[in-house]
Structure formats: C-alpha cells, structure tokens
C-alpha cells in the first residue's frame, strides 16, 4: 500500500526549482495590483497630496505679497469666524444643504418609485432625466438666469400672462430666503437625477415577491411604501443624501452666476475663492477649505449613522 502511494507522488522539481505553473500563477497574482496602480497614483496625486498640503498650510500665514510664510497656529480660524461675510456665508450654506438635501431626496424617491415599474418610453425618460446632471453648473446658472431675470425672465412673463402679478418681480438678490431658495432650486434640478438613479438601483434589488405578498395580505400603498420600499431602499437613499450633502456644501457655480458676490446668496466655497484669489490670503483660504472638508465629513457620517441600515434579502 505504501509502495503504491509513493509511486503516485509527483517527483520534486530538479535543482529545487519552482514549476512553471507555479511561476505563472505568481505572475498572474500581480495583475490586479498592476491594474489598480495607475488609478491609485491618480487619486493620491489629485486628492490626498493636496488634502495633506491644505491640512498643513491651514495653520500658516500664507500671503504671497507679504512673505515669508510663518506658523500662526489657530489665527486663520479666529479671523474667519470674526469676519461677518464668512459667518453669513456659513448660514447661507447651511440653508443650501437643508433645502437641497431634503428636496433632492424626496424628489428622488418619488421619481425612482415611478420609474421602478416598466412602461412605454421608460428608457427614454431615464435618458432625458440624466441631462440636467450632465450639464455643467455654469451652463445651468446661465439657463436659469433667463428664467429668474427681473426684466425679461420667463417666470415673470408667465405670471404676467396669467395676470398673477401686475409688474415684474425681482426674485434674486433682495429677499434673503427667496434668493437662497431660488438658487438652490437650480442645484436641486442638477443633483436630483443622480439621486434618482441611486435610489432606483436600490429599488431594483427588492424582490418582487415581497410586493406580491403585501398585495395578498391587503396592505395599502402607504403601508407597502413605509414597511417594504422605504426600509429596503435605505442604502441607496443614504448614498443619495451623502452626494447631495457634498454637492450643496461645495456649491459655487449657481450662486456665483445667478447672484454674483452679493452677500444674500454667497456660499462658503465662494468665500474661499474670494479670500484666496482676490485677497491673496491663502492661509485663511486653506483654513476655510479645511473647515468645509470637516463639515462634509461630519455631515456624511451623521447620515450614515442615522439613515443607513444594512439590508439582507
């Protein structure tokens, strides 16, 4: 018995060499790393290195017209919070986030539920839905500027045609909340398509058997939505809310195009641009960028904690 077993064993390679099959296996193991390396280097060079540079320079006085650069601790942050324009832009940005995330999430859920069912023209509607998200923010600001315009705006023309107003109104720039709402509606128009696709992807994973069971049990539409659709779509809703937070906290194009540098609609990102490239105070610009990053991270983590739930089918 032992003799037959010894005869079946494969003799070792001569000279202690590794067989060719093993060498090929080792070479193939390096292929995934080789494919990921270019993307990793791109992310490190484009995101991580600038982020580290910002983290360090936020604690330095960096003024190209008044060298040299020197460490000043938390002075940049103290000056930011002592500036009324900065604190006002923080309040504006908070309103942008609240309005934008709530509206885009509610609209995304409603549109995703509508698109969940198969109907004629569904694919065409989804393709058209993506267009606002694909357009640059500057283009959207210009397009919507012709709608909000107080002299020749489309909205004023419609309201006047239906005799709802007796003179053209100024929608942006005068009333604080109305300005924030008008500007944020433009961004909601941009970010809602992506949120809809994210929620729709989560809805497509819900088994149809659950809906059939709810129908057999006599559940109402609201019960089915609140007990099946909404809980099981939480992962997609969470991702949609996080991308909405990132977009609204970093809003720049829409308020700058529609309202210029007016304080009624200025965002924190706009103030970062003004401080860094108009005042040439890069130290405070770095500090404000760091605050935006920390606010984005904290808000995203809160959404993950309170909205996200793991789903198993």
With respect to residue 159, please indicate whether it lies within any of the assigned structural domains. Answer: yes
Q: Which of 60-89 are b and which e, b meaning 16 or more Cβ less than 10 Å from the residue's Cβ?
A: bbbbeeeeeeeebeeebbebbeeeeebebb
Paired strand residues for 60: 71
Which whole number is the average pLDDT over 208-225? 87
Q: How many domains does the chain have?
A: 1
pLDDT confidence band for 27 (50 / 70 / 90): low
In 3D space, the residue among 262, 90, 267, 247 whose CA is nearest the CA of residue 172 turns out to be 262
High-pLDDT (> 90) share of the chain, %: 44
Residue 41 tokens read as: 């280097």
User: What does the pLDDT look like over 166-182, one tens digit per residue?
Assistant: 888 888 888 899 999 99
Residue 256 has pLDDT above 60, yes or no: yes
**Residues 35-94: tens digit of each pLDDT:** 889 888 888 888 888 888 888 989 999 888 787 888 888 999 999 999 999 999 999 999
For residues 187 and 251, what is the distance between their CA atoms, to the nearest angstrom? 8
Classify residue 131: in a domain, yes or no.
yes
Peptide bond into 68 cis (omega under 30): yes
- CB 104 within 8 Å of CB 244: yes
- Domain assignment present for residue 67? The answer is no
pTM: 0.83
- Burial class for 306, CB neighbours closer than 10 Å (0-12, 13-18, 19+): exposed
φ and ψ at residue 61, rounded to 5 degrees: -85, 110
Within-domain flag for 47: no
Q: What percent of the chain has pLDDT over 70?
A: 91
- In the predicted structure, residue 17 carries a pLDDT above the cut 80: no
HSE-up (13 A, CA, CB side) for residue 306: 8
What tokens were used for 46?
């484009």
Q: Residue 90 sits in a domain of what CATH number? A: 1.10.3720.10
pLDDT band per the 50, 70, 90 thresholds, residue 19: low
Number of neighbouring beta carbons within 10 Å of residue 285: 24
Sequence-separated (6 or more) residues with CB below 8 Å from residue 86: 80, 268, 271, 288
Distance of CA 144 to the CA centre of its chain: 21
Question: What local confidence, expressed as pLDDT, does residue 22 receive?
Answer: 54
Judge whether 284 and 76 are in contact, CB under 8 Å.
yes
Residue 32 domain flag? no
Structure tokens at 203: 């809805």
Residues in the chain: 313
Q: Is residue 5's pLDDT more than 70?
A: no
The reported pLDDT for the residue numbered 3 is 45
φ and ψ of 97, to 5 deg:
-65, -50
Query: Domain residues for 246?
Result: 85-306
Residue 120 lies in a domain: yes
Q: Is residue 260 part of a domain?
A: yes
């Amino acid at each position: 018995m032992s003799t037959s077993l010894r005869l079946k064993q494969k003799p070792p390679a001569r000279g202690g060499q590794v067989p060719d099959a093993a060498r090929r296996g080792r070479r193939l193991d390096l292929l995934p790393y080789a494919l990921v390396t270019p993307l990793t280097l791109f992310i490190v060079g484009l995101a991580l290195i600038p982020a580290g540079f910002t983290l360090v320079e936020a604690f330095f006085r960096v003024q190209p017209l008044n060298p040299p650069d020197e460490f000043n601790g938390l002075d940049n942050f103290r000056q930011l919070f002592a500036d009324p324009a900065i604190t006002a832009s923080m309040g504006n940005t908070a309103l942008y986030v609240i309005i934008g995330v709530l509206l885009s999430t509610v609209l995304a859920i409603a549109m995703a539920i509508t698109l969940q069912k198969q109907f004629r023209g569904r694919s065409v509607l989804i393709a058209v839905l993506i267009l606002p998200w694909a357009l640059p923010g500057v283009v959207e600001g210009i397009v919507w500027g012709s709608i909000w315009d107080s002299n020749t705006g489309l909205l004023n023309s419609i309201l006047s045609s239906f005799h709802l107003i007796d003179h053209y109104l100024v929608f942006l720039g005068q009333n604080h909340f109305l300005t924030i709402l008008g500007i944020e509606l433009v961004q909601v128009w941009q970010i809602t398509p992506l949120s809809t696709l994210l929620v729709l992807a989560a809805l497509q994973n819900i088994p149809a058997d659950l809906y059939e069971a709810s129908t057999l049990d006599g559940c109402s539409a609201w019960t089915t939505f609140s007990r099946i659709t909404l809980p099981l779509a939480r992962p997609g809703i969470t991702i949609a809310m996080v991308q909405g937070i990132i977009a609204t906290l970093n809003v720049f194009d829409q308020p700058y195009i529609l309202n210029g540098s007016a304080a009624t609609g200025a965002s924190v990102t706009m103030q970062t641009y003004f401080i860094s490239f108009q005042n040439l105070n890069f130290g405070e610009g770095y500090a404000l960028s760091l605050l935006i990053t920390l606010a984005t991270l904290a808000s995203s983590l809160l959404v993950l904690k309170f909205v996200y739930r793991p789903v198993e089918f």
